[in-house]
A and B are shown apart, each in its own frame.
Chain A
Amino acid sequence: MSRLFMFEKPLGMRDTLPELYEKKHRIRTLMEDTIKLWGCQFIETPTLEYYETVGTASAIQDAQLFRLLDKEGHTLVLRPDMTAPIARVAASKLLQDDMPLRLAYSANVYRAQQREGGRPAEFEQIGVECLNDETVSCDGEVISLLISSLKKAGLSEFQVSIGHIGFAQELFLQILGTDERANSLRRFLYEKNYVGYREHVNSLSLSSIDKQRLLQFLDLRGGVEIIGTALDLIENEQGKQAILQLKELWDCLNDYGVQDQVKFDLTIVSHMSYYSGILFEVYAGKVGFPIGNGGRYSLIEKFGKNASATGFAVHLDRLLEALGSYDIENTVTCIFFSQERRKEAFQLAEKMHEQGQRTVLQDINGVKNLDAYTKKFADTTYLLGGRADE
């Protein structure tokens, strides 16, 4: 390895400087306040987890995990997501009595990036997990809360695309018969390779009706009208159930009044293998990557408790990017003082702090270039020389 420069950071790690910190903090607070208003309780979990437990339960690929060893030789991981740690803590502590539970977090997660090393490997997620409530209303609540908190954060143009993991699964099984054949077709969906999907479908020995069904599946994107089309394609009972859940969800989101922000897309399949039902992604026009995602999952079972949950996670940096650039108003006042009037300056500052006014105390002798320094403040006060009352 080449010698490191003293200022270097590990690949993918970033510093957050004051200006960016302020912006992030503002957005985080707006999101958190909304989430708290909806009655979710925030929790924290450790940054380090065991590889064998949280590491393997998480759906993040092994190659993306940061791994290290503890003194006993156990493999540890820097948490790659928050869903798995919350499932762990819920299964072991919080789910003792069989009641619905609404948890929330804002925390940094760690994923090593293989391509173009500069992509962030540590990033903050804000999210919600609703546990132990299997109703579609609960999925609706999570999506509505997501939309509401994004709006509160100031995002106006965005779209939530909703799919159901069960539909593709059951449709493929109904037509292709075996899991193996269904999986090989589903792989094309994961890879977003529709050319390959179509070629694969055309190469199979199927009736032309079944081929047509599989090809039509790719067009199942849009408003509530696709529910009808999807019902025509599927014969399998579980597949129908998936669609009826989406219909119910649509009605639920209508009741919440957020239907304008929502579209259906049955082609969404996540690389997160633990999703078991409704799932969704959030897109904002200016950002080329989804700013958030979520869905219903059965992960808690891996930690030995039989409970279903649903949740979302928003990628704070991407949300910030979607909000575009805006300047935060500088409201900081500076009181310059000389030794003789220090006490007076302290008292004035105290009064201003009590009023919630950001105030800096600066000994005038500590500043070399006064002109340049005063430009950093919205307002300045000078308490210099002899006492004012003298």
Chain B
Amino acid sequence: MNNVLTIAMPKGRIFEEAADLLRKAGYQLPPEFDDSRKLIIEVENEGLRFILAKPTDVPTYVEHGVADIGIAGKDVLLEEERDVYELLDLRISACYLAVAGLPGTKMNDVAPRVATKYPNVAEAYFREQGEQVEIIKLNGSIELAPIIGLSDRIVDIVSTGRTMRENGLVEYERIVDVTSRLIVNPVSYRIKDNQIDDLVTRLSKVVSVED
């Protein structure tokens, strides 16, 4: 069975690094691949089809099986808890999830509030600490929340820490390290096993060389 393998790629930050990794693994991707505005790119000579999705949606496409494979950050996987195989740590786009806030502040005793793009991760983290906090879901500019008094703390992704410093925030706790992962739909993992095993072997060679 020589089927086309569909790969869900995250648009934006991770995309270039992921494309780079695929090229190093010997996949012939066309030059227009990188600056295409198309949402679906067929690479017929490799038997691959790429769909370009919002990073947080990648695990959803893969869980439903419309994409066999996806590349997604561990942060998104922790937040979404989708039923997919997490096969390989691609070790790209390294960053971490952290708790941050204004320097020298404590959590409000009466109504502790945490703003975040990751409500599930934040809730699980504070529950493990034995703390009941109110989670406020935001979709962007999380740093704003403590500055204007919406919350005491934020839970957000930190890569260089620059955005946080520039907004006068400090990191309080580090929750978990994040890198991009190769994820696979459970049905595809069994039905397209040869193609997927080949891809995983080639990618894992590239990843381990870069150690």
A associates with B: yes
> Of B19-27, B102-110, B158-166, B181-189, which stretch is located at the interface?
B181-189
Q: Which parts of A115-144 form the interface with B (CB within 8 Å)?
A: none
Say yes or no: A221-B193 contact (C-beta < 8 A), given A288-B64, A289-B187.
yes
- Which residues of the other chain, B, contact A283 by a CB distance below 8 angstroms? 187, 190-191
Report yes or no: A288 in contact with B86, Cβ–Cβ below 8 A.
no
- Kindly state the separation between the CA atoms of A196 and B179 in the bound complex, as whole angstroms: 12
- Chain A's interface size range is 10 to 19
The residue that A196 contacts in the complex, of B3, B86, B186, with Cβ under 8 A, is B86
Contact (Cβ within 8 A) B190 A195: no
Q: A178 interface residue, CB < 8 Å from B?
A: no
Considering the complex, which residues of chain B in the window 25-81 have a beta carbon less than 8 Å from any beta carbon of chain A?
Answer: 63-66
Q: Say yes or no: is B85 at the interface (Cβ < 8 Å to chain A).
A: yes
**Contact between chains at B187 and A192 (CB < 8 Å):** no
Residue from B65, B86, B191, B193 in contact with A289 in the complex, judged by beta carbons closer than 8 Å: B65
State whether B85 touches A290 (Cβ < 8 A). no
CB neighbours (8 Å) of B191 from chain A are 159, 283, 285
**B89 contacts the other chain (Cβ, under 8 Å)?**
yes
A159, A194, A284, A287: the one contacting B87 at CB < 8 Å is: A194
CB of A255, distance to nearest CB on chain B (Å): 24
Expressed in whole angstroms, the Cα–Cα distance for A184 and B190 within the complex equals 25
* Complex contacts, A222 vs chain B, CB 8 Å: 193
- Pick from B64, B89, B181, B191 the residue with the most CB of A within 10 Å: B191
- Shortest C-beta distance, A279 to chain B (Å), equals 14
The reply to whether B190 and A288 form a contact with Cβ atoms under 8 Å apart is no
Contacts of A285 in B (CB 8 A): 3, 187, 191
| Size of B's binding interface in residues, CB under 8 A | 20
Q: Which residue of B lies closest to A285 (CB)?
A: B191
In the bound complex, CA of A16 to CA of B190 (Å): 32
A287 with B88, Cβ < 8 A, contacts A195-B181, A222-B193 known: no
Say if the beta carbon of B135 comes within 8 Å of chain A: no
Residues of chain B within 8 A (CB-CB) of A159 are 190-191
- Binary contact readout B165-184 vs A (1 if CB under 8 angstroms, 0 otherwise): 00000000000000001000
Bound complex: CA A263 to CA B191 (Å) = 10
Q: What chain B residues lie within 8 Å of A289 (beta carbons)?
A: 65, 186-187
Given A159-B191, A263-B190, A283-B191: A288 and B87 interface contact (C-beta under 8 Å): no
B86: chain A residues at CB < 8 Å are 192-196
Given known contacts A195-B88, A287-B65, A161 and B190 CB-to-CB distance under 8 angstroms: yes
- The distance in angstroms between the C-alpha atoms of A195 and B184, with both chains bound, is 12
Confirm or deny: A81 has a beta carbon within 8 angstroms of a beta carbon on chain B.
no
Instruction: Using CB atoms, name the residue of chain A closest to B192.
Output: A285
The answer to the question of B100 belonging to the interface, with a C-beta cut-off of 8 Å to chain A, is: no
Indicate if A170 sits at the interface (CB-CB under 8 A): no
If A288-B63, A289-B65 touch, does A192 touch B84 (CB 8 Å cutoff)?
yes
Q: Does B16 contact A (CB under 8 A)?
A: no
**Given A192-B83, A263-B190, are A288 and B88 also a contact pair (CB < 8 Å)?**
no
Give A residues with C-beta under 8 Å from B.
Answer: 159, 161, 192-196, 221-222, 263, 265, 281, 283-285, 287-290
Q: Which residues of B contact A (CB under 8 A)?
A: 3, 63-66, 83-89, 181, 185-188, 190-191, 193
Known: A192-B85, A194-B85, A221-B190. 5 other contacts (CB 8 A): A196-B86, A265-B190, A281-B190, A285-B187, A288-B63
10 residue pairs from A and B, CB less than 8 Å apart: A192-B186, A194-B88, A221-B190, A221-B193, A263-B190, A285-B187, A285-B191, A287-B65, A288-B185, A289-B65
